[in-house]
Amino acid sequence: MEEDQSYDYQVDLKIEDIRLLSHCVNETLRLWPGAPARPAEEQEHLRYMRDCFFRIIMDYNFTQK
């Protein structure tokens, strides 16, 4: 498999799943061991995921409650 190929996946998750994943990402960032234990790019990607999960949760709170 070529390394420059990119794949997108779609999954169906309940809001409870999103909240749990959000918590996991937030805890991983909170306990971040730093480089060289983990790559700096991974930390940036986790920040991106944290923000995405936050937007999903806020959208749910605004539209479903």
pLDDT digits (tens, 9 = 90+) for 48-63: 999 999 999 999 999 9
Query: Model-level pTM?
Result: 0.84
- pLDDT tens column, 25-48: 999 999 999 989 999 999 999 999
In the prediction, which pLDDT does 1 show?
Answer: 44
pLDDT computed for residue 2 by the predictor: 56
For residue 20, being part of any structural domain is answered with: no
Q: Is 44 inside any structural domain?
A: yes
Domain enclosing residue 43, as ranges: 39-65
The pLDDT value recorded for residue 11 is 95
In the structure encoding, which two tokens stand for residue 19, read together? 């909240």
Non-local CB neighbours of 15 within 8 Å, separated by 6+ positions: 57, 60, 64
Number of domains in the chain: 1
Does 1 reside within a domain? Answer: no
Q: Is 39 left (phi over 0), alpha (psi -120 to 50) or beta?
A: beta
Q: Is residue 47 part of a domain?
A: yes
- Its sign, for the CA torsion 47, 53, 56, 62, is negative
Return the pLDDT at 7: 86
